[in-house]
Amino acid sequence: MYDPDLSPEDRPFPIRVYSKGELANLYLPCLPIRSALNTWNYWIQTHPTLYTRLQEVGYRKKK
């Protein structure tokens, strides 16, 4: 259950499948979801090793 009195570091982080939009929003909560997702995609595409490794495990940009 969400407790607004807890600091972000003390809140439990549920282990589950997250969409790219959800992950982007977790990393960039101050941005609208679309902008966060664009930045997330930019980060991945500009890091060749990360992009290659993600593709090896099934990452698809449009999914």
Number of Cβ within 10 Å of residue 19's Cβ equals 11
Q: What is the pLDDT of residues 13-46, one digit of tens each?
A: 888 998 989 999 999 999 999 999 999 999 999 9
Tokens representing 25 are 């929003």
Rounded to two decimals, the pTM is 0.67
pLDDT band at 7 (very low <50, low <70, confident <90, very high): confident
Sequence-distant (6+) residues with CB within 8 A of 25 are 31, 33, 36
